[in-house]
């Protein structure tokens, strides 16, 4: 595509995102310094429409971008614009008051939703870049215990386990040995220590140990966290003429597997954008997803209408991901 037609497409995308109304050639000439006559702009719009980058929703109406048009617009953005110093400071200040991992991620979701006016999704980080702070065993009954794993990032994982009938002495021994083996260690180091732990247990504690060690090894070995935080759902309904049309989208976003798939391709060194028909879920093909990785194999992103402000949204997602990643690394 030549530079002039690309300039016309950029103007159409910008105006449509801003006004939410189809864009006509006269408006483009009046608002943008395109350096050509209205007739030339009309010819360029006709060519863009023929090539599938814009479409005319109604007879005698202006044009709106297609998914293909948005894709070209995003691909030709070049670099993602940086946030202003004030915006960067606001992110840092908002996150700095967090108490633990849950609080950090809740703040991140609120921040991202407010900054972009979209639905925000944040995946919990994996354990691989943290150390074990403490392992706790809590007796719930004579045949059930609660296994609690606390990491250096403040993450808390817990699992209720059915165990052979136990007594307080066995529980105390197991708790002590688990912390000797795991506390202060990386998941890999703790896993190696735990694998040899069973041979050191006393006979009465061994049945309990088999169940607990197996469960703890699974918790430590998890490569991908399936826990997600989501916020800003009401923002989606603002973009629909009929709020009821958003029901399938909202229902899809309640499915964990959908969220994991949407964010799954993102990496910490780039912002990924999936537009409209590029989404694998039919219910979400009227939306776009902007995502980035942060920290230890975890991702965050936003879901909004295809007519979103891509430059601003991409900048916000990238900046928040970087700040959250640094914040967790410092913790």
What pLDDT digit, counting tens, does each position of 91-132 carry?
888 888 787 888 889 999 999 999 999 999 998 877 666 789
How many CA atoms lie within 13 Å of 183's alpha carbon, on the beta-carbon side?
11
Q: Does the pLDDT at position 12 exceed 60?
A: yes
Alpha-carbon span 240 to 155, nearest angstrom: 37
pLDDT at 265: 66
Q: Which residue has the tokens 């469960």?
A: 215
| CB-CB contact of 185 with 192 (8 Å) | no
Task: Judge whether 98 and 239 are in contact, CB under 8 Å.
Answer: no
- For 48, other C-beta atoms within 10 Å of its C-beta total 24
In the block, which residue shows the tokens 């991140």?
108
Pick the CATH number of 85-126+225-330 from 3.30.450.40, 3.30.465.10, 3.90.1150.10, 3.30.70.640: 3.30.450.40
Does residue 116 sit in helix, strand or coil?
Answer: helix
Q: What is the mean pLDDT of the chain?
A: 86
pLDDT at 61 over 80: no
User: DSSP 3-state assignment of 205?
Assistant: coil
The residues pairing with 300 across neighbouring beta strands, listed in sequence order, are: 122, 292
Starting at the earlier edge strand, list the strands of the sheet with 156-162. 132-141, 144-151, 156-162
- Give the Cα separation of 12 and 160 in Å (integer): 56
Q: What is the pLDDT of residue 297?
A: 67
Q: What is the pLDDT of residue 120?
A: 95
pLDDT of residue 250: 84
- For the segment 243-254, the average pLDDT, to the nearest whole number, is 80
pLDDT of residue 84: 85
Q: Residue 283 has what pLDDT?
A: 87
The mean pLDDT of 214-218, rounded to a whole number, is 87
Q: How confident is the model at residue 253 (pLDDT cuts 50, 70, 90)?
A: confident
Which option is the CATH number for 3-75: 3.30.470.20, 1.10.10.10, 2.40.10.10, 3.40.718.10?
Answer: 1.10.10.10
Quick check: helix, strand or coil at residue 48? helix
Query: 3-state class of 309 per DSSP?
Result: coil
On whether the 132-220 domain is CATH 3.30.559.10, my answer is: no
Query: Running DSSP on this structure, what letter comes out for residue 220?
Result: H
Tell me the pLDDT tens digit for each residue of 280-327.
888 889 899 999 988 766 889 999 999 999 999 999 999 999 888 887
Nearest-CA neighbor of 2 among 66, 53, 63, 55?
A: 53
Return the DSSP state at 62. Answer: -
Residue 224's pLDDT band, with cuts at 50, 70 and 90, is: low
Tens of pLDDT, residues 138-172: 999 988 999 999 888 777 888 999 988 888 888 89
Whether 40 shows a pLDDT value over 80: the answer reads: yes
Residue 225: which pLDDT band, with cuts at 50, 70 and 90? low
Q: Where are the domains of the chain?
A: 3-75, 85-126+225-330, 132-220
Sign of CA dihedral 204, 206, 209, 211: negative
CA distance 113 to 128: 28
């Amino acid at each position: 595509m030549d530079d002039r037609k690309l300039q016309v497409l950029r103007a159409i995308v910008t105006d449509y995102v801003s006004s939410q109304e189809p864009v006509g050639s006269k408006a483009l000439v009046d608002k943008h310094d395109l350096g050509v006559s209205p007739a030339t702009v009309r010819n360029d719009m006709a060519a863009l429409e023929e090539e599938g980058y814009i479409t005319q929703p109604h007879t005698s109406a202006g044009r709106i971008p297609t998914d293909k048009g948005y894709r070209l617009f995003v691909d030709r953005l070049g670099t993602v614009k940086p946030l202003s110093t004030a915006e960067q400071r606001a992110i840092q200040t908002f996150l700095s008051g967090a108490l633990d991992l849950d609080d950090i991620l809740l703040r991140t979701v609120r921040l991202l939703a407010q900054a972009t006016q979209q639905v925000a999704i944040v995946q919990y980080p994996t354990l691989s870049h943290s150390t074990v702070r403490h392992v706790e065993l809590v007796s719930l009954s004579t045949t059930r215990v609660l296994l609690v794993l606390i990491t250096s990032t403040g993450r808390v994982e817990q699992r209720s386990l059915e165990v052979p009938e136990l007594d307080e002495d066995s529980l105390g021994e197991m708790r002590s040995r688990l912390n000797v083996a795991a506390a202060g260690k990386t998941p890999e180091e703790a896993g190696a220590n735990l694998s040899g732990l069973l041979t050191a247990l006393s006979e009465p504690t061994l049945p309990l140990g088999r169940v607990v060690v197996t469960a703890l090894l699974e918790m430590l070995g998890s490569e991908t966290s399936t826990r997600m935080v989501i916020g800003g759902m009401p923002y989606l309904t603002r973009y629909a003429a009929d709020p009821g049309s958003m029901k399938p989208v909202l229902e899809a976003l309640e499915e964990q597997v959908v969220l994991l798939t949407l964010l799954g391709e993102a990496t910490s060194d780039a912002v990924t954008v999936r537009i409209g028909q590029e989404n694998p879920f039919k219910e979400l093909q009227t939306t776009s997803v902007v995502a980035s990785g942060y920290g230890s194999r975890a991702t965050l992103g936003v879901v909004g209408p295809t007519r979103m402000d891509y430059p601003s949204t991409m900048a916000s997602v990238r900046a928040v991901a970087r700040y959250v990643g640094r914040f967790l690394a410092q913790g």
